Chain A
Amino acid sequence: MSVRFGVVRFPGTCDEIDALRACAAVGDAELLWHGDADLKDVDVVVIPGGFSYGDYLRVGALARFSPVMGEVVKFAESGGAVLGICNGFQILAESGLLPGALLPNLSLRFVCREVDLVVGTDRTPFTSGFDVGETIEVPAKHRCGRFYVPDDQLAELKANDQVLFRYADGHNPNGSVDDIAGVCNVAGNVAGLMPHPEHAVDALMGSLDGLRMFASAAGRAGVAA
């Protein structure tokens, strides 16, 4: 049985087709519509990047109220695997499924560049195919990607092994605290990151490292190695 991925599409989502293609490479994949409170019995939910609802009010702030997110929260609370990429990460943080907040980059400018990421934990479905400490190359592109938590929560995150990825030395594009590029929840089933693994699935475009995250979630860890 092939793993079934659902990729959520909001008005303003930009990277849903990229994510759908990445998922389809390792399993079955279909789009989920923001207005439907229905996850179509998928095994993994991916919330892709873009600018849901135009980023109006605050990044991710409106999307969390859409009908599909109610189901995503229930799915996550029952242990379902959920990955948020960029705007998806922002939405998961706004929904309270992931800790922290994504603030405007220190430069106050959009930044698009390749970054090196160091794997922080391999206990999530999306990083089980990596070794902790391994460095991978994935592009980042965002204007509000500066991960922030207060010091006490940062200590908790580290104690709970919730750091999914850190930017490698010199690669932090936005001023994130402790170079954090992605985090997971305490249980490890919900993960989010600012860089874009769905754009790193083809050697011709520069990197295949991102595909390994989807392969991990599909239980195909190791195929890509």
Chain B
Amino acid sequence: MAETATLPQFPDVPAGTVPEGTPPDVAAAIALGLTADEYALVVEQMGRNPTQVELAMFSLMWSEHCSYKHSKKLLGTLPTEGESLVLGPGENAGAVQAANGWIAAFKVESHNHPSAVEPFQGAATGVGGILRDIFALGARPVAVLDALRFGEPQDSERSRFLLDGAVSGIGHYGNLIGVPNIGGDLYFEGPYETNCLVNAMAIGLVRKETMMFSAAKGVGNALVVFGASTGRDGIGGASVLASAELGEDDADKRPTVQVGDPFEEKKVMECSLELLERGLIVSLQDCGAAGLTSAASEMASKGEVGLDVDVALVPLREDGLEPFEIMVSESQERMLCVAAPDKLDEVLAVCAKWEVYGSAFGQVTDTQRFRIFDGGTLVGDMPVPALVDDCPMYDIYPEKPTSSLYPAPPRRIADDATPGEILKALLASPNLADRTPLFQQYDQMVQSRTVRRPGTAGAAVLAIPDAADRLAPHEIHAAEIGAAPGFEGDHNHDPESARPGIAASIDGSGRRVAADPYAGTIWNVLECASNLATVGARPLGLTNNLNFGNPEKPAIAWQLTESIKGLGDACRALDVPVVGGNVSLYNEGTTGPIYPTPVIGMVGELPDSRTTAPLGFANDGDVVAGVGFSFPQIPLSELSKLRGGEIPDGLPGWDLAVARETIEAVRDAVRRGDLSSCTDVAEGGMAVAITESAIAGGKGVTLDLRGGVGMDREDWKERLAQEGKSLATDEEILFGEAPANFIVSGTPDALAQLGESVWVRNLGVVGGDRVSITCGDLALDESLEDLTAAWSGGLKPYFP
């Protein structure tokens, strides 16, 4: 019989007792990030001046980072219903129904300012934080993706430093904890020079019966903090660092950046999953921004209960921490759980098994008050709703700026560059070049689920296990027939042995949103859905990270308002619910605001992950076709950027119904196994999309982009006329960019079938070792070897 752990004991303090300590003044509140008006509101809510602990906790809970006080009203307009939805916004992550009874939980979060101040630890702890959100739901994390934005590395030592540091940090954390990094997107643009973006997305798998929520339950139950000890790192991270603009003297803010230990997180993760598997706890929550303050008050708020906690029982990594420091510390790798008193022994034994701290430091009460004790002394006593719900919400005052907020990028090529020179310059440019130097620093195959990895297809694909958590066919066969079969592979495509999967993509070019926050955001959503379609996946849900500048400025407020409107319209048009997200504001450095950057993460389902079209051309003689109707744009293109072009004011609207039609037709063709290859047309236009498929497949092509079969379809001309356009120019067709267009290859019959539902133009055939393209008066003819060299060398210099 094990020794019985004791519940924490709290003195019997009558309600209304004023906590110990001299209350700080309004100047202290302002130093912590509250406004004078907000401080007055706190005093009103409390009926007295708050103590030091209380003021520190209010300043964090009422920060932009925790309260969304400038964005909550807008976020309420997003669609959050869908047939596959399991869990919408409000919990640690959203969740959708995947195959075989598995639920996919996923979320994206930013760690921008910490990464701009200290890129390795900032990015590493960004990964750590998003992983905790996933396993707090009881889901085992199965994938990480990331969206990274830096200044232009050709020009800037600082950007190279930030890039190298952030990539190393992401790899360090994800690799060590054993979660594969399966994709991401990466852009280099001047406005990110002093305020880089590091957004990390994680996906986890969970069964409905082991899903866990954060609401604290059961008056008299114990509140346990487990994982790492608590130190002085990350104090004020959510308020002082995350909710203010960056300035010149930000080296001073380094102590607000947390230091991560992925080994600790690995143990905490396994410990959490074992606690859940054994049914020992009734709620679980991660400690992220604002540490114990945010985690515990959210638990109390959701459970509509109160909490008493004793900071003297929190395991510390150094002596002499003040109660307020313990309550606001952002030390990483900590979790909170609630357990019934008779399960406490076992909970602490599981913590001991995984060699992490575990301490029952609090108790659930029925008071709806959050009381903080330091041993026998009451040091804080606040109503939970005041902390969590009563932060004032602010209106923002959008106003479209009269001129562009952003300078033109530096010119990189001459106006008279030939199409071949342009193509090579595009392929070698950091926004388009081969991402292998990054991706190979990440473990992409741990857990053995990764069917499609970065660089092999338009989106990442993970196999979903069967209901008994068996992944590979031999496991299933072995169980069924009682012996291992011959391992001849799994080329049997009968539907009985289908291997369902999920696909994931993360996308979000900021430049197009800078040109037109509404249409640009729609484009980002369409790009994400297009990427899923290339592997045959249907979107189940969407998460987003809205990275913007200071919303108190009218121009930024306008960007944010228009962008959220576009996000909502795109989601409704595609029938994809928003399952959660994150908002990162005040992304402004010494060089002005960042490009408005709504990063979109999507998870989709595919019935059989054996039929996913690869990126690369596969067979000599296959027909190459362009699919899709969106009219290609030059003013916003990568070509225009290389020419030093200004960002245009506004983009044409995209016909969302046609875009959806195209995306779904391509997805269905991939699912039928009809396409030998498939990619969407993104940066660099058709010429680059074609070349990327040629490089990935190691096969050349000979194409005529104007002369192809299907070029003269009357309905296309009618549609163009409706949009008030004549035919596209040669340059627009070659290098112009637009959403929901694809380059596919396959047999003539397969392409004819695809052409029954959407516009398909046969452009030529796969074969040879040259990429040879004509388009009206323009032509290029380059060896695959030269193109590959240009593409694969673009990022190498930055990872020596």
Q: Interface on A for B, CB 8 Å cutoff? A: 11-15, 17-18, 21, 24-26, 50-51, 53-56, 109-113, 139, 141, 143, 196, 198-199, 201-205, 208, 211-212, 215, 220, 223-224
Q: Does B491 contact A (CB under 8 A)?
A: yes
CB A91 to nearest CB in B, in angstroms, measures: 15
Identify whether the interface residues of A are mostly helix, strand, loop, or mixed. mixed
Interface-forming stretch among B16-24, B55-63, B315-323, B445-453? B445-453
Beyond A18-B447, A201-B448, whether A112 also contacts B486 by CB under 8 A is: no
Q: Which residue of B lies closest to A16 (CB)?
A: B178
> Quick check: A50 and B448 within 8 Å, CB to CB?
no
> Quick check: B478 and A25 within 8 Å, CB to CB?
yes
Point out the residues of chain B lying under 8 angstroms from A24, CB to CB: 475, 478
Q: Which residue of A lies closest to B448 (CB)?
A: A18
> Quick check: A111 and B266 within 8 Å, CB to CB?
no
The CA-CA distance from A53 to B470 in the complex, in Å, is 28
Point out the residues of chain B lying under 8 angstroms from A110, CB to CB: 171-172, 175, 440-443
Ranked nearest first, the 3 interchain pairs of A and B with the lowest CB-CB distance are: A54-B263, A14-B178, A203-B489
Q: Does B473 contact A (CB under 8 A)?
A: yes
Beyond A18-B446, A204-B490, A224-B487, whether A25 also contacts B176 by CB under 8 A is: no
Q: Mark B255-268, 1 if CB is under 8 A from A, else 0.
A: 00000011110110
Q: Does B609 contact A (CB under 8 A)?
A: yes
The CA-CA distance from A26 to B485 in the complex, in Å, is 9
> Quick check: A199 and B448 within 8 Å, CB to CB?
yes
Q: Does B472 contact A (CB under 8 A)?
A: yes
> Quick check: A12 and B263 within 8 Å, CB to CB?
yes
The CA-CA distance from A212 to B175 in the complex, in Å, is 26
> Quick check: B486 and A224 within 8 Å, CB to CB?
yes
> Quick check: B440 and A113 within 8 Å, CB to CB?
yes
Q: Interface on B for A, CB 8 Å cutoff? A: 168, 171-172, 175-178, 261-264, 266-267, 354-355, 439-451, 463, 470-475, 478, 484, 486-487, 489-491, 499, 609-610, 799
Beyond A11-B354, A54-B261, A223-B486, whether A25 also contacts B445 by CB under 8 A is: no
The CA-CA distance from A112 to B435 in the complex, in Å, is 13
One of B444, B475, B487 near A215 (C-beta < 8 A) = B487
Point out the residues of chain B lying under 8 angstroms from A111, CB to CB: 440-441
Given A51-B262, A53-B263, A224-B486: 9 more A-B contacts, CB < 8 Å: A11-B267, A15-B178, A51-B175, A51-B263, A112-B441, A112-B445, A202-B472, A204-B472, A205-B445
> Quick check: B266 and A203 within 8 Å, CB to CB?
no
Q: Which residue of B lies closest to A196 (CB)?
A: B445
Point out the residues of chain A lying under 8 angstroms from B490, CB to CB: 202-204
The CA-CA distance from A215 to B330 in the complex, in Å, is 48
The CA-CA distance from A204 to B476 in the complex, in Å, is 14
Beyond A12-B263, A53-B263, A204-B463, whether A109 also contacts B472 by CB under 8 A is: no
Point out the residues of chain B lying under 8 angstroms from A212, CB to CB: 487
CB A221 to nearest CB in B, in angstroms, measures: 12
> Quick check: A204 and B609 within 8 Å, CB to CB?
yes
> Quick check: A202 and B448 within 8 Å, CB to CB?
yes
One of B177, B263, B449 near A56 (C-beta < 8 A) = B263
The CA-CA distance from A109 to B472 in the complex, in Å, is 31
> Quick check: B451 and A204 within 8 Å, CB to CB?
yes
> Quick check: A15 and B446 within 8 Å, CB to CB?
yes
> Quick check: B478 and A54 within 8 Å, CB to CB?
no
Interchain residue pairs with CB less than 8 A apart (20): A11-B263, A14-B266, A14-B443, A25-B472, A54-B262, A54-B264, A110-B171, A110-B440, A110-B443, A112-B439, A141-B444, A141-B445, A201-B448, A204-B451, A204-B472, A204-B499, A205-B448, A205-B449, A211-B474, A223-B484
> Quick check: A223 and B445 within 8 Å, CB to CB?
no
Point out the residues of chain A lying under 8 angstroms from B610, CB to CB: 204
